[in-house]
A = this chain, B = another copy of it.
């Protein structure tokens, strides 16, 4: 495993000449996340976020200001998807980061040359940062698994495999969209508990799930597992991920093969990849396993991963109804909690996934599964917050919610914070619920 390298790009006293970058909640100069953007009438291409602007990487390659690995990374990123750039691995990614950090630093003498390459974020449409080959959703949020399990099995919420196996399942790649894509309320086959027969129509129990997304940089050959000590090297970075869910469809369809149409109508990600390099200052020791929990099998255990496989990351969810927006009432925070509620690390997810020789590829996306805390106010889905619809949430307008209503806007947020480092964030991950098309 690559030990997190903290260098001058993370220096808390490094500031930027780009207006709005210093003090930006998500994108100060210490972040420099990777994405794909376009302006109207132009082709999508790679960019790096800085404050409220985007550095156009295609323009940067033509500037004469890059060379070597940094140039190779920027050239590969001058495409409508970052797959070729991610496939280069950590070296070129880090070289580009260091160079761009220097070019954007306060006092950089290249300022005059770079300024024309900055695109206002307000003028840019964001795209998925990479083409997703396969998408897998895990279930590593142990409090979510416990909360959901206790709805169905009060005496035995966690299944016997949970603390041995990073449980996961395959999701749908074709319906992953960047922040802002509307959520059209799906229709589906459901069966109410008291109904004699199922029916088909707009789903009623529409929910979100607060998750972390993992973008893979490099894959493996079919049949060749990824050892856990190397797993982090295969990761490009992280994102926020909303696994929109139809609970009524899920309850009726999921036996015996798992969730299907309840989950594949839309998955929203924040469009910026916060790179493993940017995360270095925020890595911390995975919390010790509770007394009595089993020791993971050797293929899932790496001491270095335990020392720095967790993250100083706070996750939040906000809801805003149409009426709230009309009255200019600020969104209501539904939850707030640390990502340390992940029972398995990202490296454990990757190593488990490839342990049978399954081929992973550049651009694959992994979801963590819903990240909930153990107590009220930290739960990552309405299913948990409202106790399966039994305890409604009251909004500032007096409206109540058990599940999402048409017009609701749901926003995820995530910020990395630790002492001695400048905080960074993912940017926006939001979607508005639109009425079903019937």
Q: A residues bordering B, Cβ < 8 Å?
A: 133-134, 136, 139, 149, 159, 161, 164-165, 167-175, 177, 184, 186-189, 191, 197-200, 203, 219, 222-225, 246, 249, 252-261, 264-266, 294, 297-299, 352-353, 355-361, 364, 437
Q: Are A174 and B360 in contact (CB under 8 A)?
A: yes
Query: Distance (Å) between the CB of A205 and the closest chain B CB?
Result: 14
When distances are taken between beta carbons in the complex, the residues of chain B under 8 Å from A167 are 253, 256-257, 260
Complex Cα distance, B360 from A198, in Å, reads 25
Grouping DSSP codes into helix (H, G, I), strand (E, B) and loop, the A interface class, with mixed when no group exceeds half, is loop
When distances are taken between beta carbons in the complex, the residues of chain B under 8 Å from A352 are 189, 261
Q: Are A159 and B256 in contact (CB under 8 A)?
A: yes
15 extra interface residue pairs, beta carbon distance < 8 Å, beyond A168-B257, A256-B258, A264-B356: A139-B257, A149-B256, A161-B252, A164-B198, A168-B260, A169-B170, A169-B258, A170-B172, A174-B222, A184-B223, A186-B357, A189-B299, A189-B355, A264-B358, A265-B358
Report the nearest B residue to A169, measured CB to CB.
Answer: B257
Complex Cα distance, B283 from A429, in Å, reads 48
Report the nearest B residue to A252, measured CB to CB.
Answer: B161
Query: Distance (Å) between the CB of A98 and the closest chain B CB?
Result: 32
In the A-B complex, the 9 residue pairs with the smallest Cβ-Cβ separation, listed nearest first, are A258-B258, A186-B356, A170-B170, A169-B257, A184-B223, A257-B258, A261-B356, A174-B359, A265-B356
Query: Distance (Å) between the CB of A404 and the closest chain B CB?
Result: 15
When distances are taken between beta carbons in the complex, the residues of chain B under 8 Å from A199 are 297
Q: Are B355 and A161 in contact (CB under 8 A)?
A: no
A198-B358 CB under 8 A given contacts A257-B167, A258-B169: no
The 29 listed contacts between A and B (C-beta, < 8 Å) are A134-B173, A136-B260, A161-B253, A161-B255, A164-B197, A165-B198, A165-B253, A167-B253, A167-B256, A168-B257, A170-B172, A170-B264, A174-B222, A174-B361, A174-B364, A177-B222, A184-B357, A187-B356, A187-B357, A189-B352, A197-B294, A199-B297, A200-B297, A222-B266, A249-B356, A261-B352, A261-B356, A264-B356, A265-B358
Query: Distance (Å) between the CB of A106 and the closest chain B CB?
Result: 43
Report the nearest B residue to A434, measured CB to CB.
Answer: B223
Q: Are A171 and B174 in contact (CB under 8 A)?
A: no
Query: Distance (Å) between the CB of A204 and the closest chain B CB?
Result: 13
When distances are taken between beta carbons in the complex, the residues of chain B under 8 Å from A258 are 169, 254, 256-259
Q: Are A261 and B355 in contact (CB under 8 A)?
A: yes
Q: Are A355 and B164 in contact (CB under 8 A)?
A: no
Complex Cα distance, B174 from A51, in Å, reads 37
A297 is contacted by which of B161, B198, B203, B253 (Cβ under 8 Å)?
B198
Q: Are A200 and B261 in contact (CB under 8 A)?
A: no
Report the nearest B residue to A189, measured CB to CB.
Answer: B165
Query: Distance (Å) between the CB of A142 and the closest chain B CB?
Result: 14
Q: Are B175 and A358 in contact (CB under 8 A)?
A: yes
When distances are taken between beta carbons in the complex, the residues of chain B under 8 Å from A173 are 133-134, 173
When distances are taken between beta carbons in the complex, the residues of chain B under 8 Å from A297 are 189, 198-200
Report the nearest B residue to A159, measured CB to CB.
Answer: B255
When distances are taken between beta carbons in the complex, the residues of chain B under 8 Å from A223 are 184, 265, 437
Complex Cα distance, B176 from A359, in Å, reads 10
Complex Cα distance, B259 from A175, in Å, reads 21
When distances are taken between beta carbons in the complex, the residues of chain B under 8 Å from A364 are 174
Q: Are B184 and A353 in contact (CB under 8 A)?
A: no
Complex Cα distance, B259 from A355, in Å, reads 15
When distances are taken between beta carbons in the complex, the residues of chain B under 8 Å from A437 are 223-224, 357
When distances are taken between beta carbons in the complex, the residues of chain B under 8 Å from A139 are 257
Report the nearest B residue to A354, measured CB to CB.
Answer: B261
A299-B200 CB under 8 A given contacts A165-B252, A169-B169, A437-B224: yes
Complex Cα distance, B254 from A365, in Å, reads 21
Complex Cα distance, B258 from A170, in Å, reads 9
